[in-house]
Each structure stands twice: as C-alpha cells, then as structure tokens.
Structure 1
C-alpha cells in the first residue's frame, strides 16, 4: 500500500484576475509570462493589420464590382460583388473577435473569453455561405434561365473591374501568407502545415476568403471572356454557379473548424504527448492515468491530469511536487495556463486504460505529422522552441 495522501485535488492554474503572484517555493517565472503575453499581443496586432488590409480591399472592390456589374449587366460580376460584400462584413466580425476575446476572466466566465474567436469566425462562415454562396447560385440560375446580351462597353467595364479586384485581392492574400509564414517559423511547422492547422481562426478566415476571392475572380473573368467569344451568357451563369459552390465549400470547412473548437476541442496532439512525457519523467509521479486538455482560446489551454504519486510522500511534499510540476509546465508551454492535478490511487485497470490511451495519442501525433508536415523540438525543453501553439521558447 502506498503511503501519503490520496484523492487530493490542488488547483494550480493561473489566478482568474491575471495578477502575477509568487508561488510558495518562489519558482514562478514572471518574466516568461510577460514574454508570452507580449508575443500574443504582437501576434494579435499583426492579425488585426491583416484583417484591416482585407477589409479595405474588400470595400473598394465591392463598390467597383457593383457599379461595373450594373453597367455591364454581368451576373458573374454581381456574384463577385456579393462575395466582396460578404467578406467586408466578415472582416468586421473578425475585428470584433480580436477585441472581445482578450477580455479578462470574470465571475461569469472564469476561464476567459478566448472562445469568442471561434464564435465570430463561425458567424463569418455563415456570412460567406448565405451572402456569398447563395447569392452566387441565385445569379447563376437567373443567368441560365433568362439569357441576355451585353455591349462591348459592358465587357470592357467588367474585365477592368475584375482585373483591379484581382490585384487588390492578391495584395491582401500576400499579406496574409506573409503572416502565416512567420507563424509557421515560430511554431516549427512547414507553411502548409501552419495553414492546415489554423491556430488563429481570424487569420485562417482571412486567408481562406482571399484565396477564394482570387480564384473566384479568375473564374468570373473566364466566364466574361467566354461570353465575349461565344455570345452565350450561359458561360457567366456557370461561372456564378462555380463561385457559389466554392464559397459554400469554404464556408462549410470554416464552420466545421469553429464548431469543433466552440464545443471543446483538445489541444494539439504533439502538445499533449509532450506534456504526458514530461509528467512521466518526474521521479515523484508513478503513473499518469488521465490527461485531458481543452483549447480555451488562441492563448489559453486547460490541462487536467490524474496522477498517482510514489509512496512515502507527506502532505507538504505532495504540495511542493504539484507546484513544481505546474510551474515547469507553465514555463515550457506558456499556453497551458489553466492546470489541474488530481492525486489518486491508480488501479490496474486505470494503468491499462492509460496505456491504451497513450498508444492512441502516439498514433494521432504520427497522423498529425503526416497531415501538417514535420515539426521540431515539440518537447519544449528550456532553450528550444515549444510545441506548436505554445508561445515563445522558454529561456
């Protein structure tokens, strides 16, 4: 029989009022917390600039497309105008998410407002689907049903507007890609892996919108060009249907991503594996029977672990171990700011279940690496880059 207390739960997360305080053994790393918060604020500022660039481009383009579409009588151009209007409203949603998600925790929301990012991104996805996809389908069907003609002047106006739109959307897309490249470098991912992972929902939405807009403009130009060559307005109708289908698919993917994180998505598999291995290496921990995680936002993650300690520890030693483990986790992975450790006696069944769960986690990490590309230094040791999404390296 093991000595020492059992069924002891100690909350060792960051205080809800976000005031820094020293822990009992004096090992709290305030400097690391401040560095992490500064890095996150800098990332949010860069994302805000990217969103403002996209908003400005979309407003100008929307006006140009509406005017050009009405002059030219082009359904494809009006579909693209609807897309730009939807994107402009979505940028306002994303700006709201950047502001509201950084509010401090309170009595009603003790874990903070980080999930606001995912809620407003979900609204943006709905806007893309309804205002972009559905209206594009409507324009396409109307063009196929009614037919129509267009003057040479109308063709010229339409193509000029689309060319200007392509340049503006391309500039916004390059800005978003530059930020993704920087995030990929910080998180030790490939650029494609960073795009697929989408740790920042606002940036992911802007990137998806701009990429879809550029492709949609090319499709619209193809529809107008074929209409010019053949005299058949059906080409523009089909172009509108293609744009609508693309917008609906992108909106579905963005909404699915936001839904998963709103209802409570686990942290990155590599981060979970790294924390589990760290706990296993602690000499006072005999077994980790449960490790639960949940994203609370882009800068906050909940970690809840049920652990069995070695025998012979008194209550003071147990508290010292838990505080030290918490402090080290927080130093290595600053994003893990809400940590709960539950000390319990592990049965044989608990150990077997934990072993199976660990095997599944290892398989998930391998599958994640295949999808997102190779990652380096996910263990988050001092002086090395942290696991993806974990913030700046520990010093």
Structure 2
C-alpha cells in the first residue's frame, strides 16, 4: 500500500509538532543551564539535562519521520515502517541516560555535599523556570491539539513520534513544577534537602517515562499484533466471503504506523472449482485491502484444497494490499 495524502498530511503535522518542541527545548536548555550555574542549583541543572535530552530526542524523531516512509526495496520488502519504533526506542534511552541518570547524580551530590546558596541567582533561576513552564506548556498544548485532531485517545497516540513528544512535554511541565517547588522551599527554609529531593523526583519521573516509552517501542520492534478490534474486523471480513467456509487461524503484525501484515489460514467451501482458487484469493485480498487501509500485506493459506488439486494452492501466496 503506497503512502496516501492523509499519511503525508499527518507526518507534516507531526513534524511541525516535533520542530516546535525542539525549538522550545533548545532555548530552554541554554537558559536552564545558565540559571543553574549562576544559582548553583541541582534542581535547575537537572532540568537543563532534561531539556538537552529532549532536544536530542526530537532529532531522533525527525529522523524517524523521514526514514520510516521510504518505499519497500529488495533488502526490505516489507518497507521501513519499523524505523519509527527504532528511533522511538533511542529517544527512550536518551531520556533515561541523559535526563534520569544526571538528575539522580545531581540530587545525590546535593545531599552529600550541599549546595552553595546564591539567592540572587535563585531568583533568576525561578524566573527562568517560570518562562520554561510557559514554553513547555505551549509545546504540550500543540502536541495535545494534534492528538485530538488525529482521533484522540489511543488512536491519536498511535504514532510513536507524537506519543514521545506528548510524554516529553508532559514530563517537562511536571519536572519544571517540581524544580520550582524545590528551589522555593530551599530559599525559604535554607535546607538543600528540598531541592535535592526535587532533583531525585525529576530523575525518578524521567526513568519511569523512559521505561514506558522503551517498553512500547520494544513490543513494536519485536512484532506486536494489531489491535484486537482490527483483528476481529479482518476475521469478520474473511468469514463473510462466500468462498471461505471458516477462518482457522489469523495472525497479524504491525509493520509500521499504517502498515499491518496479515496471515490467515482458511478453509474453503466444499466443491469450489480449483481453477478459480487463485482468482478468488486475489479478489478477497483486494477487498480486504480496500476495506481496511491499514492492511498492507495479505497472505492466505488454504488448508482444505479443492478435490483434484495435488499441489499447494495459489491462494497460499501473498499479495501486497491494493495490488
């Protein structure tokens, strides 16, 4: 199945969302780093590392958008759709290593050695965090708007690139809020433990988000089945065909954002003319591909051959959807 104008439009919108997040994170990372150094603030430095990690991840996601839409070739006959999941996995690793681990380090160092209190710098740091909260909030609203435009809920978050941006921006808003609380309590009480705890909390938050994103990407890379609703729809469409007596087994696997592999073991009705098997199989596969655009590759395996047919039925061969 070729790339449709709807697919290209969704990719363009996702690319804009990723670019908005990238621009926001680059500016915010610099501001947080400068503010953190001036204030000697572990929480603010943790947030700077968080923004740097997010910026790198946005570059990964832009690569995913560009590379995953390449057409199938001889070395990759099923296309490059899974590149989207691979780059999403790298983004999860980036969040874990650059964001979570550095935040833990900053928090533990603050607890062990304390932090030099520069309250004038802290005021500047709080201002930086306030601006960052507005910028991260605007980026999150943009991402949520696209999710709603693409169907909302699980449907709108099917794209791992968009899902990663939403997770990053949501985590960033919560992380900045924790950093503000930690810095403010440090200023009021003079106890660095508040800010160190905020840094550790940011680290824990990033690790949890990275784990969830990484787990989703792993499942999709190793071969995740299509949603149960889609599988049931395909099974019903096959069972409704007059040439098919029963659907013995149905296997599905996501090959990309809008690409699904379908393998069905079917039993044909008795008395079907063997010369029509291939023609009927092609018609069935084209009907499924037209009715369910997500289905890209369809393979039918006939388990009950018509009388007199000595070799494997042509219906067991595969066909690209829409061919």
TM-score per shorter chain, which class? over 0.9
Instruction: Find the aligned partners of 1:58 and 1:276 in 2 and give their Cα distance.
Output: 45
Q: For residue 266 of structure 1, give the secondary structure of its aligned residue in structure 2.
A: coil
Q: Is the 8 A contact 2:46 2:199 kept in 1?
A: yes
Instruction: Find the aligned partners of 1:159 and 1:308 in 2 and give their Cα distance.
Output: 69
**Residue 5 of structure 1: aligned partner:** none
Q: 1:176 and 2:135 equivalent?
A: no
Q: 1:132 and 2:99 equivalent?
A: yes
Instruction: Find the aligned partners of 2:203 and 2:162 in 1 and give their Cα distance.
Output: 22
Instruction: Find the aligned partners of 1:256 and 1:247 in 2 and give their Cα distance.
Output: 14
**Residue 255 of structure 2: aligned partner:** 296
Shift, 1:317, TM fit: 2.0
Q: 1:264 and 2:223 equivalent?
A: yes
Structure-to-structure mapping, 1:14-25, within 5 angstroms: none
Q: For residue 337 of structure 1, give the secondary structure of its aligned residue in structure 2.
A: strand
Deviation per CA, 1:228-267: give whole Å up to 9, x if none.
1101111110000000000000000000000000000001
Shift, 1:129, TM fit: 0.1
Q: Is the 8 A contact 1:149 1:231 kept in 2?
A: no
Deviation per CA, 1:173-206: give whole Å up to 9, x if none.
000000100112xxxxxx34446xx310000000
TM-score by length of 1: 0.76
Instruction: Find the aligned partners of 2:118 and 2:289 in 1 and give their Cα distance.
Output: 66
Instruction: Find the aligned partners of 1:291 and 1:152 in 2 and give their Cα distance.
Output: 65
Farther off after superposition, 278-287 or 156-165: 278-287
**Residue 157 of structure 1: aligned partner:** 124
Aligned partner of 2:46 among 66, 79, 100: 79
Structure-to-structure mapping, 1:353-392, within 5 angstroms: none
Q: 1:321 and 2:280 equivalent?
A: yes
Instruction: Find the aligned partners of 1:62 and 1:151 in 2 and give their Cα distance.
Output: 20
Instruction: State the aligned residue count.
Output: 305
Instruction: Find the aligned partners of 1:193 and 1:127 in 2 and give their Cα distance.
Output: 24
Aligned partner of 2:108 among 138, 141, 162: 141
**Residue 203 of structure 1: aligned partner:** 162
Q: Is the 8 A contact 1:149 1:233 kept in 2?
A: no
TM-score by length of 2: 0.92
Q: Is the 8 A contact 2:60 2:88 kept in 1?
A: yes
Q: 1:49 and 2:8 equivalent?
A: no
Q: 1:239 and 2:206 equivalent?
A: no
Q: 1:274 and 2:241 equivalent?
A: no
**Residue 207 of structure 2: aligned partner:** 248
Shift, 1:111, TM fit: 0.3
Q: Is the 8 A contact 2:41 2:115 kept in 1?
A: no
**Residue 58 of structure 1: aligned partner:** 25
Deviation per CA, 1:328-362: give whole Å up to 9, x if none.
1111111101001111129xxxxxxxxxxxxxxxx
Which has the bigger relative contact order, CA under 8 A and spacing at least 6? Answer: 1
Q: Is the 8 A contact 2:100 2:203 kept in 1?
A: yes
Q: Is the 8 A contact 2:40 2:118 kept in 1?
A: no
Shift, 1:56, TM fit: 0.2
Instruction: Find the aligned partners of 2:63 and 2:118 in 1 and give their Cα distance.
Output: 43
**Residue 176 of structure 2: aligned partner:** 217
Instruction: Find the aligned partners of 2:241 and 2:145 in 1 and give their Cα distance.
Output: 40
Instruction: Find the aligned partners of 1:256 and 1:117 in 2 and give their Cα distance.
Output: 14
Shift, 1:296, TM fit: 0.4
